[in-house]
Amino acid sequence: MSDWPLAELLPHAADMILIDQVLAFDEEQIHTRLTVKPDGLFSREDGSLPAWVGIELMAQSVAAYAGCHARQKGEAVVLGFLLGTRKFECNVEHFPAGAELNIHALRSLEDDNGMGVFECHLTGDGIQASARLNVFRPPQAANYLAESKDTRHD
């Protein structure tokens, strides 16, 4: 379990942090959890969460993985990007309000340029979802963002 508050692991604004807790992490994987809140940012009228938000939950778990490793090394948490997903599959259309969800993200590839692939699984009572996430964490994220801003044509 991580003693660091999630706000110190994820480069997200308060309302955008959707996971509740890091249960465990090591060199290759992370386990996180959350309880679906009926008044959450993406909640439907009935308080449930659309299943497609599962991709963001998985992505935040991967971001927490990177944040845990950065904090462990005494480094700053940096911005990363979800490039895409392959084979997102889910056996339900929504996650009910109050549902306890567990997310497991396993690193299957990460190179020195910041590209990574994670195999992710989300489970709950009667809930099974999985996806492979492609992520990018540029070595100098601040420079990367500044460079992108300078090359835009408005």
Q: CATH number of the domain at 60, please.
A: 3.10.129.10
On the question of pLDDT at 127 being above 90, the answer is: yes
More confident residue, 153 or 104: 104
Whether this prediction's pTM lies above 0.85 is answered by yes
Q: What is the pLDDT of residue 37?
A: 94
75 inside domain: yes
1 inside domain: no
More confident residue, 92 or 150: 92
Q: What is the pLDDT of residue 16?
A: 86
CA distance 75 to 109: 22
At 150 the three-state DSSP class reads helix
Q: Are 118 and 106 in contact (CB under 8 A)?
A: yes
Q: What is the pLDDT of residue 92?
A: 97
Q: How confident is the model at residue 96 (pLDDT cuts 50, 70, 90)?
A: very high
Mean pLDDT of 2-30: 87
121 inside domain: yes
Q: Quick one: how far is CA 68 from the chain centroid?
A: 12
- Domain enclosing residue 17, as ranges: 6-150
102 inside domain: yes
Helices (H), 35-140: 53-72
129 inside domain: yes
- How many domains in the chain? 1
